[in-house]
A = this chain, B = another copy of it.
Amino acid sequence: MNQDYIKPDNWSIIEKGFDAESVKSSESLFSIGNGAMGQRANFEENYTGATFQGSYIAGIYYPDKTKVGWWKNGYPEYFAKVLNAPNWIGIEIEINGENLDLNSCTAVRDFRRELNMKEGWYHRSFEATLKNGTEIAVNIRRFLAMNLDEAGVIHYEITPLNKDAKIVYKPYLDAGVTNEDANWDEKFWEPLDVKHHGNEAFVTAQTFKTHFKVTTFMQNSILENGRNLNISPSNFETTVDKIQSSYAVIVAQGKKSAIQKIGGYTVSLNHDNTYTAAEKVIQQAIAIGYDQLLQDQIDAWAKIWEMSDITIDGDVKAQQGIRFNIFQLNQTYSGKDNRLNIGPKGFTGEKYGGSTYWDTEAYCIPFYMATKDQQVARNLLTYRYNQLDKAIENAQKNLGFKDGAALYPMVTMNGEECHNEWEITHEEIHRNGAIAFAIFNYHRFTGDYSYIPEKGLEVLIGIARFWHQRANFSKDKNQYVILGVTGPNEYENNINNNFYTNYIAKWCIDYATEQLVKVSLEYPSDHKRIIEKVKLSDAELQEWKKVAGNMYFPKSEELGIYLQQDCFLDKDLVPVKDLDKAQRPINQKWSWDRVLRSPYIKQADVLQCFYFFEEHFSKEELKRNFEFYESFTVHESSLSPCVHSIQAAALDKMDMAYAFYLRTSRLDLDDYNKEVEEGCHITSMAGTWMSIVEGFGGMRVKDNTLHFAPKIPKEWEGYSFKINFRNQILKVAINHNQTTFSVDGTKELKIMVNGEAVVVSPAL
């Protein structure tokens, strides 16, 4: 894929020309979603070329039996696979007796895809000559309703160009789908029931083992030149897991024929009777009507953009990049449902499985916190609170920990760990720190303390207990150490005293201890309730403090840096710039042991600590550590460039900051890692947002006040973003001459700009 494949455009993702080689990549990039479901941009009609079929429903997964070469004690029984859900978008098209298939047409002209991010729809058009000589023009618009989030709509329009055509529309529902990512080629869906009446059809299936029941439905209308013909299907073909109806029409040359297909899912997570729920959704959608559904969609996205848009002037690619990131984040997670979370591929692919990683707390929460109602971030915190019991069980079962120590899973769908590489599953324990940090961050940003006495404190206690038990006293160092971990830099495994891990461990204990005091003073009844529930004694607290107060941190006095881990300086310290380009990406070129003993860093690790706890360190320290570690960082994680971009901006290394920004914002659009066909990197997209707002904008929250230190890349004319700070909407617009702050509503807002107090008054 080259960088011209996606056309630069401020508001849309546009592909022009049909290239079978790009189909799978485009299926990822043009994916649509509405928080409750999503789908790759698979063709509606038959396609016999290479494709990666994917439809996904939030919260629905399959516990695929673990597959490993060598079983290690403590591996979970299953890996929670993101499930390819029943297909409701399929419409076979027969034109004068020939099945439409872009892979077998004699010609395909003017093929174009557009993902209109402003209005939230996906459009595809082309002209094709079939083998039987019929020429047709095709226009398809598809969207998943943001408001009526169990439904989507397809408007599939065909115009015969050179002759009249008999068109047979054969829309179908198919629960006989498979996953590309399946350990044992098992079937994941058990068909239960197939029903139809009138223009409606329903396939109900449930997942094996997890027994999520899903009714997949469709309702079809046939139109000519925009007018509903009100015809009924001539035929229904059904199998145990598929139903297909047929509508045959004769269309005169030049006339526009169309099928409108309403489809979607109702699931047992939300309904006792998924079938009657599906009936109701269809009725609602029909009542609203296609045109109004589209208008509602445009309005819903306008509302989203109103708050979350970032504008960039003078750099279309940068503008397109950030909007693509913001669009995907909003497609993936709406924040309405605290049972859901933000999967690394969202609704764009199956890879990695699970829905919840530390990405949520470390990268995503700041975006949702600043661009949504604070309830959204609170829901993400509550998700973890609701899984606290499972985290306690995890620490108990696998590590023999006790008294309510909690280890949150590396990957999960339901609170149970489902990842299975010992070096990650069992050792990448720093994830626990990010979960505590998110509670702190939520309070810092929103000022809403109530979450902590209500729920957060219990999570903080479980996590503090974990660190207390996980550290051990080294007689040799006369300090507490944390042995055998994998830090954020996954290119090191089973290391001792990862600086980031040790630092956040100490911080977690300190923070939990402080909150215990604060809650005891300010929310005594909550304090009493919690202490009784978790049985926390003063003696235990003293033990915590011993660990936190005497934690060991590896450092080099000579270099003035913290060490990523013990013995880091024993490595052969050849910086990335001196590494032969043919050796990169190292994770594709080198055996794992070479990667591990090299000095190369996958993603920010010590620097991640500086990002979280910036105010604990001086600018000088940041500079020394940044310059040391940046020189060894290969950024082979999508989560890496954003932190480097923010810190480069803070250090006035604007060229570097801009380069990192482009890399993070156009990672998928320009397919830096040659893997976008597997899906997009959703969680890192929130990091892109941070690069602008926290990086270039220099936004921080200190002492209940927003701070800014605005900078602008020389490549840009100006940029703007909005922040929902404690229910006041602040707009920040920055160009090379000035920064303009404006605030909605009637109340003024005190902020700090480059260390000076500024009062932003509302426009009158």
Q: Chain B contacts of A583 at CB under 8 A?
A: 400
Q: Chain B contacts of A398 at CB under 8 A?
A: 591, 594
Given contacts A484-B597, A494-B494, A596-B494, contact A475 B590 (CB under 8 A): no
A477 at the interface (CB under 8 A from B): yes
Q: Mark A38-77, 1 if CB is under 8 A from B, else 0.
A: 0000000000000000000000000000111110111000
Q: How far is the CA of A398 from the CA of B592 in the complex (A)?
A: 9
Minimum C-beta distance from A590 to chain B (A): 6
* Pairwise interchain contact B592-A74, C-beta atoms closer than 8 A: yes
* Pairwise interchain contact B484-A593, C-beta atoms closer than 8 A: yes
Q: How far is the CA of A69 from the CA of B422 in the complex (A)?
A: 11
The segment out of A501-509, A562-570, A640-648, A751-759 that lies at the interface is: A562-570
Name the residue of chain B whose CB is nearest to the CB of A482.
B597
Given contacts A493-B494, A494-B493, A566-B566, contact A591 B476 (CB under 8 A): no
Q: How far is the CA of A475 from the CA of B568 in the complex (A)?
A: 11
A481 at the interface (CB under 8 A from B): yes
Q: How far is the CA of A572 from the CA of B477 in the complex (A)?
A: 12
Name the residue of chain B whose CB is nearest to the CB of A424.
B70
* Pairwise interchain contact B74-A591, C-beta atoms closer than 8 A: yes
Main secondary structure, interface of A, reads: loop
Categorize the interface residue count of chain A: 35 or more
Q: Chain B contacts of A572 at CB under 8 A?
A: 472-473
Q: How far is the CA of A318 from the CA of B693 in the complex (A)?
A: 76
Q: Chain B contacts of A566 at CB under 8 A?
A: 566-567
- Picked from B68, B426, B596, the residue with its CB within 8 Å of the CB of A593 is B426
Q: Chain B contacts of A420 at CB under 8 A?
A: 69-70
Minimum C-beta distance from A418 to chain B (A): 11
* Pairwise interchain contact A421-B69, C-beta atoms closer than 8 A: yes
Q: How far is the CA of A593 from the CA of B395 in the complex (A)?
A: 12
A535 at the interface (CB under 8 A from B): no
- Picked from B421, B474, B594, the residue with its CB within 8 Å of the CB of A569 is B474
Name the residue of chain B whose CB is nearest to the CB of A480.
B570
Q: How far is the CA of A399 from the CA of B589 in the complex (A)?
A: 10
A148 at the interface (CB under 8 A from B): no
Q: Chain B contacts of A481 at CB under 8 A?
A: 570
Q: How far is the CA of A693 from the CA of B111 in the complex (A)?
A: 82
Q: Chain B contacts of A596 at CB under 8 A?
A: 484, 494
Q: How far is the CA of A67 from the CA of B68 in the complex (A)?
A: 7
A528-583 interface with B by 8 A CB criterion: 556, 566-567, 569-573, 583
Minimum C-beta distance from A325 to chain B (A): 27
Q: How far is the CA of A588 from the CA of B73 in the complex (A)?
A: 6
* Pairwise interchain contact A593-B422, C-beta atoms closer than 8 A: yes
Q: Mark A256-271, 1 if CB is under 8 A from B, else 0.
A: 0000000000000000
A587 at the interface (CB under 8 A from B): yes
- Taking each of A183, A474, A589, A593, which has the highest tally of chain B beta carbons within 10 Å of its own beta carbon? A593
* Pairwise interchain contact A475-B73, C-beta atoms closer than 8 A: no
A427 at the interface (CB under 8 A from B): yes
A483 at the interface (CB under 8 A from B): yes
The 12 listed contacts between A and B (C-beta, < 8 Å) are A69-B69, A73-B588, A74-B592, A74-B593, A399-B593, A484-B596, A493-B493, A494-B596, A496-B567, A497-B570, A566-B567, A567-B567
Shortest 4 CB-CB contacts between residues of A and residues of B: A74-B591, A484-B597, A426-B593, A476-B569
